[in-house]
Structure 1
Amino acid sequence: MFIVSFPYAVVQGGYWAILSMIVVAYICCHTGKILVQCLYEENEHGRKVRVRNSYVEIAEHVWGKRFGGRIVDCAQIIELLMTCILYVLLCGDLIKGSFPDSPLGLSSWIMVSTIPLLACAFLQSLQRVSMLSFWCTVAHMLINAIIIIYCFTRVTEWHWSDVQVRINIWTFPISLGIVVFSYTSQIFLPTLECNLEDKSKFTCMMHWTHLAAAVFKAGFSYIGFLTWGFATKEVISNNLPTQVFKIIVNMILVAKAQLSYPLPYFAAVELLETSLFAGRPETVFPACIDNTHRLKIWALICRVALVVFTTLLAIIIPHFAILMGLIGSFTGTMLSFVWPCYFHLKIKWHTMSITYKILDIAIIVIGLACGSIGIYYSGHALTRAFQGLPPSPFHGSKHD
């Protein structure tokens, strides 16, 4: 969904942002594979046996049940809820861009776009969520085709000289956070691998999907930026020339964002219910489901409150690209870079080659460095955005 902000990442990071889309894809492919390796141990016959079922169980094995699972659970819930917040914020931003003369502001459009999402509180089946995700994919393919075709109609006007080689230290970390955030799939990989009919194809699947993602994201970002140059907006569809064209594309994107919302919302609800609402004495609170497998009234109210919570945060922090960069720098680097490599080293140290050890340690160092820098600069940019200022403190240049 967030690929609509990737051309804006090129505004902030130039060619280095495009390179980062390829490098981060490689790193996330590697960490996804080694995370799944941590689910397995060899038995006495030398065969791999699945002894763990989730990211949380891996953390519990390394850090202990008291803290390990809770730390990863918190990071996963933050990542998922922030994704929901970004979908809601994107809906409001797109509708506002479609109707700039409307008396309603961004906050009002965010609240309007939340109304259909309240129905997500009733979701209890992953099958229904997957059907919504299917239509989300259809809308995604349609939008990408429309934007790319339009960009190629403007090929004679492309801004080749606008793409920079130099790094702007004030804005590039934001771009990197956006890129990392877009590749964070480690939360879902243990479940995905468990449900594959042929688990031996998992590595092949990881290679092809990450290769395809890297090629498409880099190409889409480069083409989008070349079309509008430094005038590229945070959501690229807001750059479209005519208001009617912009409204059509933005409304499809709004539908796509709303169809995307149920998956992270459902995953967050599942994590919260498993860790807090499984029933006493296993958890602090009673179970959410009664004997007839229906949601209890108070549980439904809590689910609705969670949707409202994501809406309120979207209203409070109305800066889409910077917020995405901040989240990517925080939970993204830990879930996708640091923790998979750390767990792999702790669990598989005695069976790993020296090459894999060096690679894992290097990714940990890169993740910690990029995450720390990204949090600082994204936080700084978000503070300036609330003050109505551009991300960089240096004014007057076309790059700001």
Structure 2
Amino acid sequence: MGVGRPAMGITSPAKMTANIFVSFIGAGMLGLPFAYKEAGIMEGALIMAVVGYLSVAAMLMLIDCKYAILTSGGRAGGRSIIMDTKVPLIPPDSSDDEDEDERHPPTPSTDLTYGDVGLYALGSGGKRLVDIAVVVSQVGFCCGYLIYLCKNLSIYLPRFSQRLWLMLLLPPLYCLTLLRHLNKLAIFSLFAQVSNVLALTVVFWFDFSHSEEVPFTPKEFSIKGFPFFFAVAIYCYEGAGMILSLEESMAEHKRDKFRSTFVCTMTGLTMLYICFGVSGYASFGPHTMDIITLNLPHGSGTVDFAAMVKICLGVSLFFTYPLMMFPVTHLLDKTFGFATVPYRGNIMRLILVIMTGMVVSAVPNFAILMSLIGATCCTLLAFILPAAFHLAIFKQLYKQTYGMRMGSPIGAVLANLYMEHLESEHFANIIPSSITWLRYVDNVLVITPKRFDVQNLQARLNADELAIQFTLEEESNDKLPFLDVLIHSVDNSLRFHVYQKPTNKNDLTHFYSSQDTKTKRGIIIRFFLRAYRICSPEFLDKECTYIHRTFTDLHFPSFFIKDCKKRALQIINSPCTNITPNKVIILPNSQVALNVSKVLSQANTRVAIASSTSIKDLTKQNPSTKNQSTQGFTLYPVEAATRFM
């Protein structure tokens, strides 16, 4: 629950584990049993595990962003920003591993905050978004503490209403927020954490001892409760904004162990969340309240454990309130210059404390407040912003720096030319004359004598040009797929059949789709044309039956399919000599050419408009013009291809 910056120079993984637990375990745990009541045990455990995994992955992204910025000298994300060495809000603890620190003297380090990463990634807008989310979420956490305190106090002293207790609590809390340095709040933080651990331990013990007293069938899944539980789960990882400070608190010579320590600790923390929520729900069933401590009955023995738990948690949350408010006041002091004008800072703190009281009066339900904050600010800080900053800072990793993009209009042409260059200049001395080498763009069918060392040929080809790496698929059971052809070896001769991939699901155009009839007819005709052009006689009938059955399943009428088959046969059997070629005139691209083409089209003469820029000119552009679009082409300088253009 503590949100202050951790002490610098922690070297022990055990101390770092404790620091992570302190930063993440908060009041959100108290609402987990109620969330399990809404969503169910199995669904809740699954959501908590997924949220935990995503939260850890997003927080590690922030660390990657930090080191990308430091490596670039503050120029990550396309911005150049002066890197300032920051003074920690809490000085290093000189008592931690003194001997080891003498061997590894501390060196000045540049400490980046979450807001700094946002500034470097997205500019001032990114930093402002982080600051707003931090302020709103921290104030929301403080409101949750106030709700807990007021509800429990009103139960023990019912003469005072929750609103009256709220008014009594605000003045002392305001006095605690006037402290300007975290070291003055350190004693309160220690006392709060000891009280918190004691209280949660007692709650765990009571849950397990009370689990058999409420017989009921626990809920396992509930779609209705999914959004609520998801928001509460995100709220529980309220320390997401602390990851950079936690990582910085690790001694520099042992900082490489932080990731493994952090992942293991967060795994244990997620398991703790799941166990705490499930045990609380299993103990009280449908009577589980939004704050689990409200279910604890008054003890009848000499020691009232329920009262002790509530008192410990109350004290813990009371002293955690100023710790949660400290990042907000520190940020606002720095932003508006209140640090040099103390009375204005005091007024700002008074406004913030009164604002939390107003929010509690308007939203007195702890579970609703948790889900509201989790679904908004916590989601932004834990998931959305880390991914956005990572994309902005590491965007150069997602650029294609070699080869050509999928769908490029000249991709097939350049690929074919490049392969021709390799075959004539590089592979001529590698490919022996004893084999048959048949290539279609970048797919090659090779026919070799028996006992030919194909693996050796593949290794020599791949070693010649590292950019082109061939994979090998050999004949199996006298069959070999090549593109959409399945080749059968039968009695020293070849037979052919249409090849269907094992993943093929025949997910084709449905007869009742919105496509026009010509398109539907053309699809079936092309299927039959492929069968007639590829299949050997013994496989043709089987393929035609398969086509007929496939489109019948898609609700095409039988007469429609037969008509398409008939049309395909006419195309196959029609002699090419009967086609009279049209006259074609090629004209340079101009408005005059467009006008001429309209006139000549009436005389059965087709006009082809040539592009004003040739492919050769396009590919010989300066490398700085890469990714510009000209005449519908995307420019990629390709050294090997330009010599052919």
**TM-aligned CA deviation for residue 51 of structure 1:** 7.3
Aligned to 2:62: 35
1:212-236 CA distance string (max 9 Å, x none): 2111110011111111001001111
5 Å-filtered alignment, 1:95-134, equals 95-99=153-157, 102-134=158-190
Quickly say closer, same or farther: Cα 1:144–1:318, change in 2 above 3 A.
same
TM-score under structure 1 normalisation?
Answer: 0.77
Corresponding position of 2:126: 68
Residue 245 (structure 1) shift: 4.5
Cα distance per residue 1:187-241 (max 9 Å; x no partner) = 2222222222132122123212211211111001111111100100111111112
Structure 1 equivalent of residue 206 of structure 2: 150
Contact preservation (8 Å) 1:31, 1:341: yes
Query: Aligned partner of 1:196: which letter?
Result: M
Which consecutive segments of 4 or more residues in structure 1 shift more than 6 A? 48-52
User: Does the CA-based 8 Å contact 2:211-2:284 persist in structure 1?
Assistant: no
Equivalent AA in structure 2 for residue 205 of structure 1: T
1:87 aligns with 2:141: no
**Higher-helix-fraction structure:** 1
Per the alignment, do residues 97 and 5 of structure 1 end up closer, same or farther by CA in structure 2, a change over 3 Å counting? Answer: farther
Preserved contact between residue 25 and residue 214 of structure 1 (Cα < 8 Å): yes
Amino acid at match of 1:62: A
Q: How far does residue 159 in structure 1 lie from its aligned partner after superposition?
A: 4.3
**Percent of residue pairs bearing the same amino acid type:** 23
2:322 maps to 1:262: yes
The amino acid across from 2:183 in the alignment is Q
Q: Which residue of 2 aligns with 1:357?
A: none
Show the counterpart of 1:7: 33
- Does 1:25 find its partner at 2:25? no
Cα shift readout 1:93-134 (whole Å, capped 9, x = no counterpart): 2212334xx232211122223333122232111123333222
Counterpart AA for 2:119: E
Higher strand share: 2
The whole-number CA distance in structure 2 between the counterparts of 1:154 and 1:8 is 16
Equivalent residues in 2 for 1:187-266 (5 A)? 187-197=241-251, 198-242=254-298, 245-266=305-326
Q: Contact 2:185–2:323 (CA<8 Å) still a contact in 1?
A: yes
Hey, what's the Cα distance between the residues in 1 that align with 2:110 and 2:392?
16
CA displacement 1:115-155 (0-9 Å, x = unmatched): 33122232111123333222211111111111111222224
SS of aligned partner of 1:38: helix
Give me the whole-angstrom Cα distance separating, in 1, the residues matched to 2:267 and 2:173: 33
Residues 234 and 320 of structure 1 are in contact (CA less than 8 Å); yes or no, is this contact kept in structure 2?
yes
Change (3 A) 1:74 1:151: same
Equivalent residues of 2:363, 2:369 under 8 A apart? yes
Q: Quick one: higher RCO (CA 8 Å, sep 6+), 1 or 2?
A: 1
Q: Does 1:54 align with 2:110?
A: no
Q: Residue in 2 aligned with 1:361?
A: none
* Contact residue 198 and residue 309 of structure 2 kept, 8 A: no
1:51-86, Cα deviation, whole Å (9 max, x unpaired): 771221222222222x22111111111111111111
Residue 166 of structure 1 is matched in structure 2 by 221
Matches of 1:308 and 1:43, distance apart in 2: 44
- Structure with higher Rg: it is 2
Q: Which amino acid aligns with 1:217?
A: Y
Aligned length: 333
Q: Which runs of 5+ in 2 are unaligned?
A: 1-26, 77-82, 84-108, 401-645
Q: CA 1:148–1:186 in 2, change beyond 3 Å: closer, same or farther? A: closer
The residue that corresponds to 1:299 in the other structure is 345
Quick one: distance in 2 between partners of 1:59 and 1:130? 29
Q: Displacement of 1:328 after TM fit?
A: 0.3
Q: For 1:242 and 1:346, locate their aligned partners in 2 and report how far apart those are by CA, in whole Å.
A: 55
Amino acid at match of 1:178: V
Alpha carbons 1:95, 1:109 under 8 Å: kept: yes
Shift of 1:256: 1.1
RMSD between aligned residues: 2.5
Pairing 1:346–2:392 present: yes
SS at match of 1:318: coil
Please tell me the residue identity of whatever aligns with 1:114.
L
Partner residue of 2:340? Answer: 289
TM-score scaled by structure 2?
Answer: 0.49
Cα distance in 2, alignment partners of residues 114 and 186 from structure 1: 27
Query: What SS does structure 1 have at the residue aligned with 2:339?
Result: coil
Q: Work out whether residues 28 and 184 of structure 1, in 8 Å CA contact, stay in contact via their aligned partners in 2.
A: no
Whole-angstrom distance in 1 between the partners of 2:320 and 2:47: 25
CA contact (8 A) 1:234 1:321 kept: yes
* Structure 2 contact 31–292 (Cα < 8 Å) conserved: yes
